[in-house]
Amino acid sequence: MTTPVVTTSGGTPVPRGKRPNPRIAQFKRTWYFLSRNTLAMVGLGIIIFFVFVALFSFTYNAPSDHLQLYCGTYAGPGGVPVNISGACTQVCTYPTGSPPPAPNCYPTDVNNPAIVPPTINFGTFHGGPLPFGSLEVANNQYFYNIFDGLIKGAPWSLGIAAGIVLAGAAIGLVLGSTAGYFGGLVDEIIMRITDIFLSIPGLLLVLVLLAVLGSTIPTLEGRVLVLMAAFVVTFWPTYTRIVRGQVLVTREQKYVEASRASGARSGRILLRHIVPNSIFPIFVQLSLDVGAIPLGLGAIVFLGYHIFPSQYFPEWGSISANAVSQVQGLITTCQAAAAGGTACIFPWWQLFFPGITLFMFAISVNFLSDGLRDALDPRLRR
């Protein structure tokens, strides 16, 4: 005679195969609510598009004619239409006033990119060479293409953003679950350290850390790692707080109690029960931060920190910040030109395309994050 099997769910064992894993069930439930949210789905679609661009960028070689100016009719200096026919094979950066050194060249004033026409490839933007991160910028002698920069920058931007938030979330998960689960002195110490890091102004912390660590590092990869580390230092406290708050709730659940009663050790309870059940709120914050990081990178570049000063580094935030700096100087130039009676073509495309890329990425991530929050919070579900 066999002894009856007693499980935690009652006297009779439930057949394993019939019952879905509760975590998969939660995932399916979340996905169901998420998929009914139009904005979140639009956001998810845009993010997937950007990820595909990032993957595709490794096979993308900028056409050689992107380094050159397009032929056709453009509004030239003073608004006079300039008709350039034939092969424009040379980038001519001679001053607008002087005679052209070669026929069929478009006169380009390096000090006034406003006269560079918008082309189908989103216009040129002077400041660096085209291939990503290899050639040295020789004082405005090269042109690079914003379109190419944005494509080549996609893996950098997405990679940096994902790396920062994943590292921050990992630290937050470890510290937060430890603090929340053990409580007492451990909790007190970890949370005070978190408070300290939350209280230091974030921008200052990032800039000073970059100045301390970044100045000595000669390689691009090393500098990017330092950049990510500096951002992680400002991001982890938020995750620690979120995880701790959630763990404090999870810790009191019946299944944790049951696990403890059946003799599980702390490590097992934490890893098998508490962490998997406290992880969902992180995703909301995670997706929010992913969108904010390229904007933050742009902000520090705008404030004068250059990730790799001697090279063109295609990263969405940096491209936008460079474009903005150029455009800012042009406002007065353009006004002076306009006051002098000459027409001024304001190079809006230099600002628009990097800006719209950053914007689309950040807003789609926000839509997704908002949808995720609604899907995870039973009170906010429709």
Burial (CB < 10 A; 0-12, 13-18, 19+), residue 98, is exposed
- Tokens, residue 194: 């978190």
Paired with 10 in beta bridges are 7
**175 in the Ramachandran plot: left (φ > 0), alpha (ψ -120 to 50) or beta?**
alpha
Based on the shown chain and the rule CB under 8 A, indicate whether residue 229 belongs to the binding site for another protein: no
- Per CB under 8 A, 283 contacts another protein: no
What is the three-class DSSP state of 81? Answer: strand
User: Which residue, 138 or 204, has its beta carbon nearer to another protein?
Assistant: 204
Verify binding: residue 87, another protein, rule CB under 8 A: no
Note whether 201 binds another protein by CB under 8 A: yes
CB 308 within 8 A of CB 220: yes
Q: Are 93 and 140 in contact (CB under 8 A)?
A: yes
Choice from 91, 162, 170, 205 touching another protein (CB under 8 A): 205
Least separation in angstroms between residue 324's CB and another protein is 5
Q: And the tokens for 146?
A: 């914003």
Helices (H), the chain: 22-35, 38-56, 146-182, 184-199, 202-209, 220-250, 254-261, 266-268, 275-278, 280-302, 316-339, 348-376
Least distance CB 118 / another protein (angstroms): 16
Question: Does 211 engage in binding with another protein (CB under 8 A)?
Answer: yes
Q: How far is the CB of 271 from another protein (least distance, A)?
A: 30
Interface residue with another protein among 145, 246, 285, 320 (CB under 8 A) is 320
Q: Which is nearer to another protein, 230 or 274 (CB)?
A: 230
Q: Which stretch binds another protein (CB under 8 A): 16-24, 44-52, 196-204, 255-263?
A: 196-204
Q: Which residues contact 346 (CB under 8 A, 6 or more apart)?
A: 114, 327, 330, 334
Task: Yes or no: say if 277 and 253 are a contact pair by the CB < 8 Å rule.
Answer: yes
Q: Which is nearer to another protein, 5 or 339 (CB)?
A: 339
At 143, phi and psi to the nearest 5? -120, 140
**Site map 39..68 versus another protein, x via CB under 8 A:** x-----------------------------
- The token pair that represents 175 in the structure block: 């510290």
Residue written as token pair 């304001």:
346
Q: Residue 204, interface with another protein (CB under 8 A)?
A: yes
In the shown chain, the binding pattern of residues 339 to 378 toward another protein, with x for contact by CB under 8 A and - for none, equals x------x----x---x--xx-xxx--xx--x--------
Tell me how far, at minimum, the Cβ of 10 lies from another protein, in Å: 35
Phi, then psi, of 116 in degrees rounded to 5: -80, 125
Given candidates 136, 195, 221, 257, which one binds another protein under the rule CB under 8 A? Answer: 195
Q: Please tell me whether residue 136 adopts helix, strand or coil conformation.
A: strand
Helix, strand, or coil (residue 382) = coil
209 binds another protein (CB under 8 A): yes
> Contact between 329 and another protein (CB under 8 A)?
no
Least gap, CB of 296 to another protein (angstroms): 9
Least CB distance to another protein at residue 37 (A): 10
- Chain-centroid distance of CA 365 in Å reads 10
**Contacts of another protein in 242-261 (CB under 8 A):** none
Q: Decide if residue 185 touches another protein (CB under 8 A).
A: no
Residues that bind another protein (CB under 8 A): 39, 192-193, 195-197, 199-201, 203-205, 207-209, 211-212, 291-292, 295, 298-299, 302-304, 317, 320-321, 324, 327-328, 331-332, 335-336, 339, 346, 351, 355, 358-359, 361-363, 366-367, 370, 379-380, 382
